[in-house]
C-alpha cells in the first residue's frame, strides 16, 4: 500500500522537503520553518487544547499579529461559571450602589450586564436611571386600612393577603401569582415586569417573583435571567452546537474569531457558523446561502458512491481520504474528486496534484448568442459543482476523521500499545496526526468557498491560490492515507516490529509537513494573497514557481507579517 | 345561564357597575346566554367625524380574563385608520399593553377616545391611513359620510 507514497524516507527528514518540492528548490529556504519540527512533534504534550487551538499556536512564530492570535481570546463558560459570574456582577453592583440584589439585577439587565455602564449611568444621574427602569424611592400610595381591595379580582381582603411592589398598589397574592405566571409564560419580557396598575411603572423584581409564584415559574424566570446574561451581553454568546449548554466569553482583538467550545465544536464567534478560518464571514454567508439555493441540484454530490472510472461498477466511499481503490479484480486506483487515475496525483510519476483546480470549458470557435448563453449557464453550474463537491467531500471526510479519531482514542491506542509494547504516551503522534487531519479538512473545505468567489480575472492570484491549495491538499491526502490505511497493518500485527518505528517517523513527518503547508495556505489567504506579486515575478515556468513562493515566504517573516489581517481583499 | 356558574366575582362586579353607573356615551350589557359576551354601543364623540353615529361592538371576555385582554370588535362599518374592514381595532391596551388592572370600562373609554383622535401613524388599515395623511379633510368627509350611511339610527 505504501509503495505509492514513498516520498517519505522514514529516517531522513531532510528528504521530505526535497521530495515535496521536486528537488528544484534551494534547501535553505525552508530550513527555518522545518528545522524544528522534530521537536514540535515530540515535545508538544499540550493534550487538552483543541485542534484549532494547537494549530493557531503553532502558527505564531513569525509575526506579532499571528502571535496575538495564539493567546486565548475567549473563555468557555459552563452553567456553573455563568451562574457564578452573574452572581458576582449582581453583588458588585448591589454593594457599590447600596441597593438590594434584585434592583441591581434589574439595572444590570437594563445596561446589558455591563457593570461599568451601570456605575457610570447611576452616578451620572441616579434619578433618571431609577425612572427608566421603575426603581422607586418610596411608595406612591399608602393605605392605613386593615382591609384592602385587590385591583384585579376586586375582592376586599385583609392586609396579609395583599402584596405590592415598591409603589404600594395593592393586589392580592393570588392575583399576583396569576399575573406573574402569565408574564413568565409569555417569554423573556417577564424580566421587565411592572406593577399591574396601568399608570404605574414600578419594577417587579426577582424577590417578588420568588415570593409569589410556583417553583416551576421561579425556575423559568431564573432561566430567562441566565439566558439574558449571555444573550444581552455583547461579550458572550451561546455555543451553537445542538444540545450544548456552554457559553463563550470573547475578548475582542486579534482579528480571528475561531472559538473551540469544550463540547469540541468549533465555531466563528462573529457569525456563529462553524469555524471557517481563514475565510471571512461574508464569504461564508454567501456560500451557505448559495448552497441552500442550489441544494436540490446538488443532492447527488452528497451521494456516497460513484462508478469506478474504469469498470463502471459503483464504488462506495467509506474512508476519509480521497484515494479510492476499486474492488478486485479491477483494483483501479483513482481520485474520488476528479475520477482521474491516482497515479497522476503522485510525485513519483511527475504528476502534479491539480484536482483542486477549476478550469472553465474553453470557448472556441464562433458561438451564436443563444449557444453562448447556454454555454455560460452550463459553465456556471459546472463551476459551482466543482467547488461544492470539494467543499462537501472535505466536510464528510472531516466527519469521518472525527469518528476515526474517537475510535483511535477509545479503542485502538490501547490495542496498539499492547501489540507494540509501547506506552500510550508514546503513541501521541497518532492522535496528533488525526487532530491535524481534522483541522486541515476544515480549513481545506473553506478554501473551496474562497476559491469559488475568487474573481476569474485575477489570474495571478488564482494561480497562486490554487498552487498553495494544491500543495496543502496533496500533503493532506498523504497524511490521511497514512493515518487511515497504513496504520491498519499494525493493528493486526503479531508483535513489535522495526516497521512500526518507521511508521512513526513517517506519520510524524507527514503531520508536521502538512501542518506547514496549511499554515502557508491560511497565512496567504488571511493576507488576501498579497504575496502574489513576488510569486508571479518568478513563476515564468513551473519549476520557478517553487522558488517564487519560497521567496515570498521568506519576506513575510520580516516585513509583511505585521500587516496580516484576516480580511480577504474585497473583490467580488 | 347554564355556563355562567363559574363566573369569577370580578366579572360579576364589573358587569353590575357597568349597568348601574354606565360611562357617558357608552353602554354595555351581557348577553342572556353568555355572561362573558357583551353587546356594546358607543356614541360617536362630539366634534369628531363620527358625531351623531351609534356604533355597535361586541366584546368577549376570554377564559384567562383578566390575565388576558378582552376581545373587542366593531360590528358597525366605520371609516377609521386604526380599525379594519372586519372591525378589528388597533389599540395597545388590547395587545401588549394589557394589564389585569384594566377593566371593560377602561377599554371602552379608550376606544371612544380613539374615535376622537385617530392615529394614522400606527394604522391597521393602510389605505385609510394613507388617505388620512395625504388629505385629512377629504378623509374626514368620508368618515362623516360613512357615519351617516352606516351608523345612523341602527
Ligand atoms: Zn404600582
Ligand atoms: Zn386579587
Ligand atoms: Zn459547545
Ligand atoms: Zn464568521
Ligand atoms: Zn473498477
Ligand atoms: Zn483528483
The pTM for the full model equals 0.67
**C-alpha cell read off for A305:** 458512491
B117 close to B140: Cβ distance less than 8 angstroms = no
Name the residue with higher pLDDT: A541 or A280: A280
Phi, psi of A247 (to 5 degrees): -125, 165
List all residues 6 or more positions away from A321 whose beta carbon is below 8 Å from its beta carbon: A397, A477, A480, A481, A484, A485
The pLDDT assigned to A434 comes to 96
> How far off is chain B from A189, nearest CA to CA, in Å?
10
The pLDDT assigned to A276 comes to 93
Please state the rounded mean pLDDT for residues A186-214: 94
Partners of B30 in beta bridges: B38
The pLDDT assigned to A77 comes to 95
Q: Chain B residue closest to A194 (CA)? A: B99
Confidence of residue A162 (pLDDT cuts 50, 70, 90): very high
Distance CA A309, CA A315 (A): 10
The pLDDT assigned to A9 comes to 40
Please state the rounded mean pLDDT for residues A191-203: 94
The answer to whether the CB atoms of B9 and A154 lie below 8 A apart is yes
Residue A66 confidence (pLDDT) above 60: no
Q: What is the DSSP string of A343-377?
A: GGGSTTTT----TT---PPP--S---HHHHHHHHH
Name the residue with higher pLDDT: A44 or A394: A394
Confidence of residue A110 (pLDDT cuts 50, 70, 90): very high
For A124-158, how does the pLDDT look when each residue is reduced to its tens digit (9 = 90+)?
Answer: 999 999 999 999 988 888 888 889 999 999 999 99
Q: Which of A140, A94, A138 is nearest to A119 (CA)?
A: A94
Residue A552 confidence (pLDDT) above 80: no
For residue A155, the chain B residues in CB contact (below 8 A) are 9-10
Average pLDDT, chain A: 79
> How far off is chain A from B132, nearest CA to CA, in Å?
30
Measured CB to CB, residues of chain A less than 8 Å from chain B are 151-155, 169, 171, 175, 178-179, 182, 196-198
Residue A184 confidence (pLDDT) above 50: yes
> How far off is chain A from B139, nearest CA to CA, in Å?
33
The pLDDT assigned to A360 comes to 56
Distance CA A517, CA A472 (A): 5
- Helix ranges (H only) for chain B are 9-20, 104-116, 126-134, 136-150
Q: What is the DSSP string of B21-56?
A: SPPTTEEEEE-SS-TTEEEEEEEPPTTSTTTT-EEE
Residue A120 confidence (pLDDT) above 50: yes
Phi, psi of A83 (to 5 degrees): -55, -45
Percent of chain A with pLDDT over 70: 74
Asked if B74 is an active-site residue, the reply is no
Please state the rounded mean pLDDT for residues A189-198: 94
Q: Which residue spans within A169-252 are E strands per DSSP?
A: 171-172, 236-238, 247-250
Name the residue with higher pLDDT: A299 or A291: A291
Distance CA A214, CA A355 (A): 64
A227 close to A83: Cβ distance less than 8 angstroms = no
Q: Which long-range contacts (CB under 8 A, 24 or more apart) does A286-292 make?
A: A286/A453, A287/A391, A287/A449, A287/A452, A287/A453, A290/A384, A290/A452, A291/A388
For A399-447, how does the pLDDT look when each residue is reduced to its tens digit (9 = 90+)?
Answer: 999 999 999 999 999 999 999 888 999 999 999 999 999 999 999 999 9
The pLDDT assigned to A357 comes to 75
A139 close to A165: Cβ distance less than 8 angstroms = no
A56 close to A256: Cβ distance less than 8 angstroms = yes
ipTM of the complex: 0.83
**Architecture of the domain made up of A3-35+376-571:** Up-down Bundle (1.20)
Look up the CATH superfamily of A86-231: Zinc/RING finger domain, C3HC4 (zinc finger) (3.30.40.10)
Phi, psi of A343 (to 5 degrees): -60, -25
Name the residue with higher pLDDT: A313 or A470: A470
Please state the rounded mean pLDDT for residues A334-349: 73
Confidence of residue B1 (pLDDT cuts 50, 70, 90): very low
The answer to whether the CB atoms of B99 and A198 lie below 8 A apart is yes
The answer to whether the CB atoms of A171 and B97 lie below 8 A apart is no
The answer to whether the CB atoms of A198 and B102 lie below 8 A apart is yes
The pLDDT assigned to A50 comes to 38
Q: Which ligand is nearest to the CA of A136?
A: 1
Q: Chain B residue closest to A150 (CA)? A: B101
A151 close to A170: Cβ distance less than 8 angstroms = yes
Residue B12 confidence (pLDDT) above 50: yes
Q: Which of A153-157, A295-299, A314-318, B69-73 is least confident? A: A295-299
Q: Chain A residue closest to B92 (CA)? A: A198
The pLDDT assigned to A555 comes to 36
Pairing label, strands A305-307, A314-316: antiparallel
For A453-501, how does the pLDDT look when each residue is reduced to its tens digit (9 = 90+)?
Answer: 999 888 899 999 999 999 999 999 999 999 999 999 999 888 888 899 9
The catalytic residues of A are 321
Among the partner residues B64, B66, B68, nearest to A152 by beta-carbon distance: B66
Cβ-based contacts under 8 A for chains A and B: 35
Distance CA A346, CA B53 (A): 91
**C-alpha cell read off for A491:** 493493528
- Helix ranges (H only) for A408-453 are 413-419, 428-453
Q: Which of B90, B104, B108, B128 is catalytic?
A: B90
Confidence of residue A344 (pLDDT cuts 50, 70, 90): confident
For B48-67, how does the pLDDT look when each residue is reduced to its tens digit (9 = 90+)?
Answer: 999 999 999 999 999 999 99
Name the residue with higher pLDDT: A71 or A132: A132
B97 touches chain A (CB under 8 A): yes
Give the N- to C-terminal CA distance of chain B in Å, as an integer.
28
In chain A, what are the domain boundaries?
3-35+376-571, 36-72, 86-231, 294-366
| Ion ligand 3 contact residues with beta carbon within 5 A | A 239, 241, 244, 246, 261, 263, 265
Confidence of residue B122 (pLDDT cuts 50, 70, 90): confident
Confidence of residue A36 (pLDDT cuts 50, 70, 90): very low
The pLDDT assigned to A411 comes to 92
Residue A41 confidence (pLDDT) above 80: no
Neighbours of A547 (CB within 10 A): 17
Amino acid at each position: 500500500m505504501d509503495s505509492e507514497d514513498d516520498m517519505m524516507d522514514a529516517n531522513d527528514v531532510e528528504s521530505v522537503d526535497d521530495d515535496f518540492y521536486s528537488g528544484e528548490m534551494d534547501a535553505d529556504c525552508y530550513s527555518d520553518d522545518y528545522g524544528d519540527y522534530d521537536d514540535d512533534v515530540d515535545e508538544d504534550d499540550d493534550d487538552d487544547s483543541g485542534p484549532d487551538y494547537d494549530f493557531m499556536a503553532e502558527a505564531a512564530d513569525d509575526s506579532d499579529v499571528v502571535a496575538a492570535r495564539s493567546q486565548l481570546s475567549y473563555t468557555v463558560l459552563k452553567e456553573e461559571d455563568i451562574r457564578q459570574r452573574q452572581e458576582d456582577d449582581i453583588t458588585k453592583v448591589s454593594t457599590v450602589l447600596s441597593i438590594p440584589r434584585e434592583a441591581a439585577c434589574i439595572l444590570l439587565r437594563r445596561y446589558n450586564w455591563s457593570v461599568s455602564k451601570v456605575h457610570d449611568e447611576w452616578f451620572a444621574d441616579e434619578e433618571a436611571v431609577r425612572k427608566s427602569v421603575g426603581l422607586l424611592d418610596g411608595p406612591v400610595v399608602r393605605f392605613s386600612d386593615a382591609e384592602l381591595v385587590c385591583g384585579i379580582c376586586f375582592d376586599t381582603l385583609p392586609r396579609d393577603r395583599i402584596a405590592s411592589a415598591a409603589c404600594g398598589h395593592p393586589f392580592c397574592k393570588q392575583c399576583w401569582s396569576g399575573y406573574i405566571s402569565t408574564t413568565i409564560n409569555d417569554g423573556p419580557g417577564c424580566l421587565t415586569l411592572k406593577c399591574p396598575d396601568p399608570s404605574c411603572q414600578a419594577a417587579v423584581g426577582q424577590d417578588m417573583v420568588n415570593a409569589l409564584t410556583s417553583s416551576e415559574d421561579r425556575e423559568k424566570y431564573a432561566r430567562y435571567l441566565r439566558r439574558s446574561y449571555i444573550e444581552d451581553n455583547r461579550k458572550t454568546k451561546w455555543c451553537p452546537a445542538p444540545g450544548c449548554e456552554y457559553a463563550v466569553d470573547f475578548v475582542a482583538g486579534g482579528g480571528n474569531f475561531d472559538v473551540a467550545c469544550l463540547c469540541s465544536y468549533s465555531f466563528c464567534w462573529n457569525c456563529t457558523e462553524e469555524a471557517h478560518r481563514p475565510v471571512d464571514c461574508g464569504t461564508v454567508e454567501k456560500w451557505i446561502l448559495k448552497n441552500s439555493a442550489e441544494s436540490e441540484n446538488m443532492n447527488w454530490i452528497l451521494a456516497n458512491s460513484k462508478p469506478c472510472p474504469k469498470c463502471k461498477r459503483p464504488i462506495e466511499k467509506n474512508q476519509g481520504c480521497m484515494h479510492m481503490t476499486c474492488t478486485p479484480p479491477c483494483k483501479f486506483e483513482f481520485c474520488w474528486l476528479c475520477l482521474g487515475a491516482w497515479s497522476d496525483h503522485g510525485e513519483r510519476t511527475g504528476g502534479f496534484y491539480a484536482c483542486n483546480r477549476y478550469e472553465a470549458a474553453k470557448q472556441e470557435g464562433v458561438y451564436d448568442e443563444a449557444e453562448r448563453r447556454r454555454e455560460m449557464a452550463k459553465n456556471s453550474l459546472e463551476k459551482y459543482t466543482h467547488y461544492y463537491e470539494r467543499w462537501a467531500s472535505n466536510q464528510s471526510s472531516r466527519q469521518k476523521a472525527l469518528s476515526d479519531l474517537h475510535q483511535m482514542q477509545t479503542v485502538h491506542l490501547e490495542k496498539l500499545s499492547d501489540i507494540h509494547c509501547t506506552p500510550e504516551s508514546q503513541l501521541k503522534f497518532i492522535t496528533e496526526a488525526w487532530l491535524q487531519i481534522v483541522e486541515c479538512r476544515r480549513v481545506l473545505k473553506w478554501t473551496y468557498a474562497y476559491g469559488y468567489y475568487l474573481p476569474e480575472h485575477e489570474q495571478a492570484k488564482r494561480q497562486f491560490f490554487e498552487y498553495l491549495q494544491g500543495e496543502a491538499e496533496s500533503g493532506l491526502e498523504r497524511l490521511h492515507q497514512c493515518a487511515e490505511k497504513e496504520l491498519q497493518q499494525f493493528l493486526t500485527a503479531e508483535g513489535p516490529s522495526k516497521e512500526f518505528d518507521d511508521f512513526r517517523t513517517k506519520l510524524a513527518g507527514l503531520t508536521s509537513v502538512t501542518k506547514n503547508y496549511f499554515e502557508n495556505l491560511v497565512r496567504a489567504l488571511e493576507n488576501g494573497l498579497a504575496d502574489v506579486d513576488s510569486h508571479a515575478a518568478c513563476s515564468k515556468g513551473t519549476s520557478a514557481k517553487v522558488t517564487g513562493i519560497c521567496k515570498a515566504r521568506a519576506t513575510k517573516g520580516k516585513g509583511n507579517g505585521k500587516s496580516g489581517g484576516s480580511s480577504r481583499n474585497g473583490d467580488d | 345561564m347554564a355556563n355562567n356558574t363559574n363566573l369569577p366575582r370580578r366579572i360579576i362586579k364589573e358587569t353590575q357597575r357597568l349597568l348601574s353607573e354606565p360611562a357617558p356615551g357608552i353602554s354595555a350589557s351581557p348577553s342572556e346566554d353568555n355572561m362573558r359576551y357583551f353587546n356594546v354601543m358607543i356614541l360617536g364623540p362630539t366634534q369628531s367625524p363620527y358625531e351623531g353615529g351609534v356604533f355597535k361592538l361586541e366584546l368577549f371576555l376570554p377564559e384567562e380574563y383578566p390575565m388576558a385582554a378582552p376581545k373587542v370588535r366593531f360590528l358597525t362599518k366605520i371609516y377609521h385608520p386604526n380599525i379594519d374592514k372586519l372591525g378589528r381595532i388597533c389599540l395597545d391596551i388590547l395587545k401588549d399593553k394589557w394589564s389585569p388592572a384594566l377593566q371593560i370600562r377602561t377599554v371602552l373609554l379608550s376606544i371612544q377616545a380613539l374615535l376622537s383622535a385617530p392615529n394614522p401613524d400606527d394604522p391597521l388599515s393602510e389605505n385609510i391611513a394613507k388617505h388620512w395623511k395625504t388629505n385629512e379633510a377629504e378623509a374626514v368627509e368620508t368618515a362623516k359620510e360613512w357615519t351617516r350611511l352606516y351608523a345612523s339610527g341602527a
